[in-house]
Structure 1
Amino acid sequence: MGEQPIYSTRAHVFHIDPATKKNWVPTSKHAVTVSYFYDSTRNVYRIISLDGTKAIINSTITPNMTFTKTSQKFGQWADSRANTVYGLGFSSEHHLMKFAEKFAEFKEAARLAKEKSQEKMELTSTPSQESAPGDIQPPLTPESINGTDDERATPDASPTSEPRTEPLQNALSLSHSSAINKHWEAELEALKSNNAKLTAALLESTANVKQWKQQLAAYQEEAERLHKRVTELECMSGQTNVIKSHKTELNHTIEELESTLKAKEEEMERLKDEVENANELQTQRDSIAQKLQETEMRNQDLESQLQEVETRLESSQLQQEAFRKNLRTLLEILDGKIFELTELRDSLAKLAECS
């Protein structure tokens, strides 16, 4: 690359409003990098600034440019080629002074480079100007005019034939003079015809020269347009490293976002699985709750049956207790009766023994 950055700073970029020519229109939302570039192949200095991939400043420094400080932190300059006025807002007066010093330095360097280029153009243009008429003369020469070789040869032969025919006319008789006069009249007519052809060819060549001049002007305009286009492309190519760095940062950001998105997708899949498991657990819970409810109902039935059994058992126990009491009473009565019978037996035995 023939163009390299030689000084860079950061500033807010403004353009003059093309409608009012008074108000400033900001071209960047925040401070951007503004750089001086030197093109060693063309020996020119330029001020270039990019906002992303868009060139918001592309100004070639010329000797007639002037950088004006309108405040402590703001400066401006006019670019006639871009048909606009650029304005820069700096963060401090020091940055503004440094930018102005560089502007003056490169402006002087551009002036010296222009003077050297003019001297070279003057030296190279001198031989080209001397040879310029030769470039236009060929279309006007007789070789470029339509006509036969015999017609071009006739006027060349007539002067040489005059000295030869004059002694012959003196020697010949008057009878041949009329034939010679007719011959010269034919030659004169041929010369007039050739002269008319030469005049027409000259007019045609003049018209061609005018047409060629118009085509040359058109070619020059096209060359200037292509030169401007090449300058813009060189500006974009001069910022290739910046664009590549931006691209690298964007690719890195995209990779981080893709990894984050992948992690989020995995998290979503895990949550989906957990939701499915939760749904299954909820189904199981509902089933268990229903079974628990059925079990509770059965338990209530069993409790009611148990209470009935307990009631019956209590009544049975009361009946058994009453039966036992009755049985004890009967046993006591029986024991009394047996004791009485025993005493009666003993008495009877004693009576028997006595008798």
Structure 2
Amino acid sequence: MLRISEIVRFFFISFREQPIFSTRAHVFQIDPSTKKNWVPTSKHAVTVSYFYDCTRNVYRIISLDGSKAIINSTITPNMTFTKTSQKFGQWADSRANTVYGLGFSTESNLVKFSEKFAEFKEAARLAKEKSQEKVELASTPSQGGAVKRNLLPVSKPVKKQESAPDDLQSPSTVDSINGTDEGRVTPDTPKHTEARAELSQNALPSSHSSSSVSKHWEAELAALKGNNAKLTAALLESTANVKQWKQQLAAYQDEAERLHTRVTELECVSSHSTVVKSQRTDLNQTIEELEFALKIKEEELERLKVEVESANEFQSHKDALLLKLQDTESRNQALEAHLSDLEQRLESDQQEREAFRKSLRSLLELLDSKISELTELRDSLAKLLEAS
């Protein structure tokens, strides 16, 4: 929940400026306790808008549900908007310490919102670079005849973007928004015994095929779980390495500042110019080596960021496979219920046939006895006729 001062600022911005881009969507936030499930922050679709704050030169995503501010996210160059399905997207906000999710009514609205996010993210990056250039130009001293020094570049602090949790499952409301609910078709009741037998024969391969598909998805899910565990271990190891590299970077920066101070002191001593030049050469070489080491560490950090993004892609793929597996299991259960119903009907038909056969046999035996009696009567009448 946002503070009252932030809500007042939202209303001030809304009255002062018009939104750059607006759309309607269902808003969700990640559960802070589990970091796995989505919690809806709006009961219905609300307006989500991009605002530009000219005083701070930043872009923000703002959404209000009545008088309650449910989104206040400042777009930074480190943010990434991820489309997890055809109508659902999410992004992590490290400042708000949460992950926002939006469920759109159509796929085109999601695509437009994602394009605007990338556009304003690039604009925020350019604005940040311009502000840094202005600060550097303002902080550069103008000293006449001063000796130019090789300055060690100040490394930017690495902001770890808060990634989405390992297991993000969209709620049922998101499924209804995305239109993934499938209607259940009630099978027609067969009228004749042959139709029932044919349906039972056709239902058996369907159940076998659905079970084989289910096993296939389960095997693929198990493989993805193994890959996810490996990536998690690699991520933990890389996090530990990043902390160690940050400590080394701080030590390198302290060493560089100490070396620059030493160079300044040596330059002030004019009586030892030859010694100062040699020491300065050594110090410059040491600074170059430190800069090269810093460059290698920055490249390693970029590689780790790419690995984290690939882990997020694996997670989204895993979520899609889980949804497909649940759908397959529900269909398999429906087919099994239909098959059991057909088997019961077939068993009852067989019992009826067996009873009918028994009644026919008894009738045939009775008919045979009557025919034998009639035959004996005929023979006796024939004998009487011959005797007379």
When normalised by structure 2's length, the TM-score is 0.32
- Rg larger in 1 or in 2? 1
When normalised by structure 1's length, the TM-score is 0.35
Bigger relative contact order, structure 1 or 2 (CA pairs below 8 A, ≥6 apart): 2
Per residue, is there more helix in 1 or in 2? 1
